[in-house]
Amino acid sequence: MNKIAFFDAKDYDMASFKNANKDERFEIKFYETKLSIDTVNLANGYDCVCIFVNDNVDKEVIDALSAAGVKLIALRCAGYNNVDIEHAFGKIHVVRVPAYSPYAVAEHAMALLLTSIRRIHKAYIRTRDHNFSLSGLTGFDLHGKTVGVVGTGKIGRIFAGICKGFGMNVLAYDKFPAKDSDLTYVTLDEIWERSDVISFHCPLTDETKHMVNKESIAKMKKGVVLVNTSRGALIDSEALLEGIKDRQIGAACLDVYEEESDVFFHDFSGHIINDDILARLISMPNVIVTSHQAFLTNEALSNIADTTLSNIAQFEKEGRCDNELCYKCEKFGGCPQEHKGKCF
């Protein structure tokens, strides 16, 4: 299990993984290309593939990896909607990094929110041109406002704590409420109807895909601010664009986008973006887009590298991993083995 094909590699990935692999226990081949059916042959001769959020690991890719003798898919992220884990069952094991730095993502969500409502980005551009006018820069206080937090895992709970520090009223929604928390849980409709700000911190599933759509936007407060640092497809982009144009949505802070895979992490300056919806969203004065940057801190990168290599090492040594993904856990609400043995 010491030969790893590493896909969608960036400079910061290579630096953090080389540092975590100082003892050169693992032989890592870094590929800049994403994993897909067109590139899967690059994994021939490797024990493990290491992937990120925009690699496409569908049925065809899984079958090709399995046929090539790859025994493990190691996600260097928490989300896994890009992997068909049900099809992988019985063929190839899948592990992930469930938490790397929840503070990084939660803090980025708040940074986006503050930048948007206090017009920091606009002020920065103005003063660079020696324009010190305050016209059009009026924002609003967060203190006393109501924030709806959708998803209360580690990141959601940390973001809720940050919001409380600003004196905000916090409402929460989660299909599985956090035990022993001091959060006020309400229905999703109440989140839509009562929140001045809504921030998303939940995984992408069939149930959560396009949870923000034409119907849910209509239920929201006029002028609501949406913050998404989770998964792009939680929000129907066309409905979001219409909601902004209708002045129903006051602002959108997006670190993710549902069609980001062909755009994010690449430099398209000087090029025309073919995605008309993304281009129109970016052109809106009340929309801020960062390119899946929320995780990008030194601490998070170090944790991702350490945990990913630890996952691979544990699987190599014990034939199992505490952070293994199994579709039975997802589909049936828990694995009877409690990850004490192989999932298959």
- Cite the active site residues: 231, 260, 292
The burial of 269, by beta-carbon neighbours within 10 Å (0-12 exposed, 13-18 middle, 19 or more buried), is given as exposed
Q: Which residue has the tokens 């905000």?
A: 168
CA distance 157 to 230: 14
How many helices (H) and strands (E) the chain has is answered by 12, 13
CB 188 within 8 A of CB 165: no
Alpha helices in the chain (DSSP H): 11-20, 59-67, 85-88, 102-117, 120-128, 154-165, 188-194, 214-219, 237-245, 276-283, 298-318, 327-332
Closest CA to 59 of 88, 35, 95, 99: 88
Angstrom distances, CA of residue 45 to CA of 41, 48, 68: 9, 9, 7
Smallest CA-to-CA distance from 201 within 211, 186, 187 is with 211
Contacts of 40 (CB under 8 A, 6+ apart): 61, 64, 65, 68
Whole-number Å distance between alpha carbons of 26 and 22:
9
CB 133 within 8 A of CB 126: yes
